Structure formats: structure tokens, C-alpha cells
A = this chain, B = another copy of it.
Amino acid sequence: MSARGSLQLVPNTLDFAAPGEPARLDELLPLGVIRTASRLQHWVCENARTTRAFLKRVDAVCPLERALQELSIVELPRPRKGGTEPESTDLGALLAPALDGHDLGLLSEAGLPALADPGAALVAAAHAAGIRVVALPGASSIALALAASGMNGQSFAFVGYVPVAAEARSARIRALEAVSRRDGQTQLLIETPYRNAALLEALLAHLQPATALSVSVGLSLASGFTRSDSVSHWRQRPTTLPADIPAVFAFLARR
């Protein structure tokens, strides 16, 4: 038996920017996940303040084993310019509690850690150090958006962000559409919320009219929706996207 603790990948809710009082956490996450979270005394996260808010929601369902102010909550190093992952030397220190035998939680701001979110380098460092990694069941907005799109769920790619500069953006969109047509592969992308409308405009300008385009906004919010339609229909009847709620974009070219 190893005396090491595990790294628990704790899913967060997707109710980002939901108005009013947050729902009870067991409405949005499985009780098993909340119970595990209530026992963890060491956390790595993107943002300590929002992690404390999450832990208060945990406490309201499953009382924390230790008081909030006694917990160790450490932020991931900020990614450097260009989005490269932090140095592995920084990550070793974050894993110290697990090496000392304590289970360690990794939490992102929404959805699953390490998926379209920081944390993958920490997970890789954990594997390299012989620390058991456990992904607790929770929702990913990318996976939900794909399911809601009605597009090919047997072959899909998440490609992250496309370039912001107009020429590079249109070239990238056309290249992804060519891959989608050749392989029958659904392409998924995201954008910073305030650029949602600009990305939609670029997709409508550069994709072929028969290509299917789906946009999922505010998944798991009451105000959320998924529209999945041909590019030509989108052009005829545009939808205005909110600038303050994350959206996931998916498209599949007609073969």
C-alpha cells in the first residue's frame, strides 16, 4: 500500500453567472461528490475566493470535516503568456500534501478540472509522482453541448479558441471545416463570453451554407438554450448571444 494521498478531480457546477441565490449544491452535483469534497482538507484551484464560496455550498449539504479557515487552499500558478503550462517545479510543491499522505482536491471555476481549463499539468505531475488520480463524476459544458447539438457524437474534436485576428480566424475556421467534411468530425470551440457574438459572426461568414452550426449558451441555467441549425438558416434568422455567459460552438460540415 502506498502512503500517498490521491488527487481528486472535483467537478464544479455550470451555474456560472446565474442570477439570485445559488441553488443547493445537491441539486447540481451528486451527493457522493459533495461528501468527498467535504472531507478534503487540501485544495488546489484557479481562484481561492470562489473555491471558498464553493466549499460554503458544500458545507450547507455535507458539513465540512474541518472549518473552512483551517483548510489549505492554493491557487494554480497563472499560465504564462501564450497559454503554456506552468513549470513542473511549481507543481511539485502543490502536490506535497498528497505526497505526505493527504487527499488533495483539484477544482476549476466551472465543470471538470483540466478539460478546457487549467490543471492538466498538475494531473500529469501527479501521475508521474505515483499519486492516484480520481475523476469524480460531473458535467463538462463541452460534452453537454455536443450531446445537445445532435451532431456526430462518435467522432468529435474540441479545438479550444480560434485566433482573434480576422485573417487568421477565417483561415482557421475554413481549415476546421475541411477536417470536419473529410472525417465527418464535429468541431467544438469556445470563446471569451464578450466575444461570443464576434465568433458567431465569423462562423456565419466563413462556413458553408449547408454546414450545421450549434450554439449552446448557459447550459444548466434556466435561461440556457441550444440552437442547432444550418448556417444558411442562422443567416436568415440570427440569434443574439449574451456577452456575459459562456457559450460552446459546434459545427459539422455536410459531406
Q: Which of A11, A126, A154 has the most CB of B within 10 A?
A: A154
Q: Which of A14, A26, A124, A158 has the most CB of B within 10 A?
A: A158
Q: Which residues on the B side are within 8 Å of A14 (C-beta)?
A: 137
Q: Which residues on the B side are within 8 Å of A152 (C-beta)?
A: 120
Q: Which of A107-125 contact B (CB under 8 A)?
A: 112-117, 119-125
Contact A120 B153, CB 8 Å, known A28-B30, A142-B143: yes
State whether the Cβ of A54 lies closer than 8 Å to any Cβ in chain B. Answer: no
Size of A's binding interface in residues, CB under 8 A: 69
Complex CA gap A72/B104 in Å reads: 45
Are the C-beta atoms of B116 and A154 separated by less than 8 Å? yes
Mark contacts of A135-164 with chain B using CB atoms, 8 A cut-off: 1 yes-contact digit, 0 otherwise. 111111011111111111111111110000
Copies of this protein in the complex: 2
State whether the Cβ of A238 lies closer than 8 Å to any Cβ in chain B. Answer: no
Q: Which residues on the B side are within 8 Å of A220 (C-beta)?
A: 136-137
Q: Which of A13-38 contact B (CB under 8 A)?
A: 13-14, 23-24, 26-32
Are the C-beta atoms of B159 and A158 separated by less than 8 Å? no
State whether the Cβ of A211 lies closer than 8 Å to any Cβ in chain B. Answer: no
Q: Taking the nearest CB of chain B, how far is it from the CB of A154, in angstroms?
A: 5
Are the C-beta atoms of B32 and A27 separated by less than 8 Å? yes
Are the C-beta atoms of A155 and B149 separated by less than 8 Å? no
Are the C-beta atoms of A148 and B27 separated by less than 8 Å? no
Contact A150 B135, CB 8 Å, known A157-B156, A160-B155: no
Complex CA gap A56/B113 in Å reads: 32
State whether the Cβ of A9 lies closer than 8 Å to any Cβ in chain B. Answer: yes
Complex CA gap A117/B121 in Å reads: 30
**Sample of 25 A–B contacts (CB below 8 Å):** A11-B139, A13-B137, A26-B26, A26-B31, A28-B137, A29-B30, A112-B143, A112-B144, A114-B146, A115-B146, A124-B150, A124-B151, A124-B212, A125-B150, A127-B214, A127-B229, A134-B224, A135-B144, A135-B219, A138-B139, A139-B139, A154-B160, A156-B157, A156-B158, A157-B185
